């Protein structure tokens, strides 16, 4: 089914804004996207400024926990699907202070589910059967792998190791419970590390790019050999669209990039790309800026995603490999320095290390 009227929560963030852009660019016909975002530190309406005069798009500054507001939006706009991207998502911040993560990721998701259930129950039978609640989550709920362990599958037991991951695991359980207890037509996706345009500059890849351009140190936790599976954000948006349109109600789908690599290799690749595309004035390589720092507490060693289920059932596979995706990402940041400057000057100090690495 083609969903024309959707509510996207957390749509001013990195993945949410990329999804909205993908949705509107792919659907030129009549449609309506409501973007509900509280605009905490990582939310930025500028991510979608090209749609500010597009009558298919509407931004609402608000909280997913505000049940009165959400109920009003669902009813007034006859929403057909909710896509829940809203989350506090930075591991380091969750280590510093866990409570905001549980307020948003657990209590916020619970209230959103309750509001969605009430609205869904009020719909006529046909509309109710077509309604969807799609919850976007993370591979971090599964815990950490050794180098010999098989990749995470949808049946892998949850073993979250950070307060952030624990809060996302709790929200995933809530979504599952609302389907099995109340029949709410839910879908869940668990993705690997995303990267690409509009990512908040405290995550590893944009942090390295922008620190390098500013001649600042490139901090690498521990020995730099922690492994992540990297997923280009546009590929993730295509996967979410496929799950929304064709996914089986009540199911979970893992979404991976087929691009496992160490953090050290990521930094080295970014330095090589910057050496090529934006050489330093002193003639040296950006590699000289690498510095190893004390490891994060409880730092997961390896993540790996098995995405055979979404590949076989929905015919999805990532289109970008790590080489092409990183090149596109570096080129985007080089050509959007004004966006980067606005973020770094108004949102936060870039002394914090890159998250999820």
CATH superfamily label, 5-199+230-261+302-321: NAD(P)-binding Rossmann-like Domain (3.40.50.720)
CA distance 161 to 101: 14
Identify the active-site residue in 3, 57, 119, 164. 164
Please report the pLDDT score of residue 346 as a whole number: 65
Bridge partners, residue 188, by sequence: 135, 252
Active site residue 50: no
140 belongs to the catalytic site? yes
Closest CA to 316 of 248, 254, 251: 254
- pLDDT confidence band for 94 (50 / 70 / 90): low
Contacts of 349 (CB under 8 A, 6+ apart): none
Q: From the candidates 37, 63, 140, 229, give the one annotated as an active-site residue.
A: 140
Contact 175, 186 (CB under 8 A): yes
Helix, coil or strand: residue 183: coil
- pTM, two decimal places: 0.94
Give residue 201's pLDDT band: very low, low, confident or very high (50, 70, 90): confident
Q: Note if 139 is an active site residue.
A: yes
Query: By the 8 A CB rule, do 109 and 32 touch?
Result: no
Q: Does residue 239 surpass a pLDDT of 60? A: yes
Q: How many helices (H) and strands (E) does the chain have?
A: 13, 12
Q: Decide if 199 contacts 233 (C-beta within 8 A).
A: yes
Dihedral angle sign, alpha carbons of residues 278, 281, 284, 287: negative
Residues in the chain: 357
pLDDT at 67: 98
pLDDT tens digits for range 299-346: 889 999 999 999 999 999 999 999 999 999 999 999 999 888 887 776
Tell me the C-alpha distance between 36 and 236, whole Å. Answer: 20
Per-domain residue ranges of the chain: 5-199+230-261+302-321
């Amino acid at each position: 089914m083609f969903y024309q009227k959707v509510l996207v929560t957390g749509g001013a963030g990195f993945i949410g804004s990329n999804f909205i852009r993908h949705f509107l660019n792919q659907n030129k016909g009549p449609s309506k996207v409501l973007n509900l975002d509280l605009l905490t530190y990582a939310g930025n309406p500028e991510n979608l400024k090209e749609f500010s005069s597009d009558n298919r798009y509407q931004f609402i500054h608000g909280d997913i926990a505000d049940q009165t507001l959400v109920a009003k939006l669902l009813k007034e706009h006859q929403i057909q699907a909710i896509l829940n991207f809203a989350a506090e998502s930075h591991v380091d911040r969750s280590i510093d202070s866990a409570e905001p993560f549980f307020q948003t990721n657990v209590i916020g998701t619970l209230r959103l589910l309750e509001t969605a259930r009430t609205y869904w129950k009020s719909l006529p039978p046909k509309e109710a059967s077509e309604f969807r609640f799609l919850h976007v989550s993370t591979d971090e709920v599964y815990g950490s792998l050794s180098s010999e362990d098989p990749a995470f599958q949808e049946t892998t037991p949850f073993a979250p190791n950070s307060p952030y991951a624990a809060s996302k695991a709790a929200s995933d359980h809530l979504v599952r419970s609302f389907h099995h207890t109340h029949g709410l037509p839910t879908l869940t996706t668990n993705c690997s590390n995303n990267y690409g345009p509009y990512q908040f500059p405290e995550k590893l890849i944009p942090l390295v790019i922008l620190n390098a351009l500013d001649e600042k140190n490139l901090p690498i936790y521990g020995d730099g050999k922690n492994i992540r599976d990297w997923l280009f954000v546009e590929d993730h948006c295509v996967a979410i669209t496929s799950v929304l349109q064709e996914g089986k109600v009540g199911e979970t789908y893992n979404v991976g990039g087929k691009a496992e690599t160490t953090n050290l290799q990521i930094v080295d690749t970014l330095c090589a790309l910057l050496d090529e595309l934006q050489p330093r004035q002193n003639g040296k390589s950006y590699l000289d800026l690498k510095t190893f720092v004390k490891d994060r507490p409880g730092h997961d060693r390896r993540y790996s995603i098995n995405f055979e289920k979404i590949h076989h059932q929905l015919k999805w596979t990532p289109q970008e490999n790590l080489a092409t995706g990183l090149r596109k990402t570096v080129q985007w940041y080089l050509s959007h320095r004004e966006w980067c400057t606005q973020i770094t000057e108004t949102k936060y100090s870039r002394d914090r290390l890159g998250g999820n690495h």
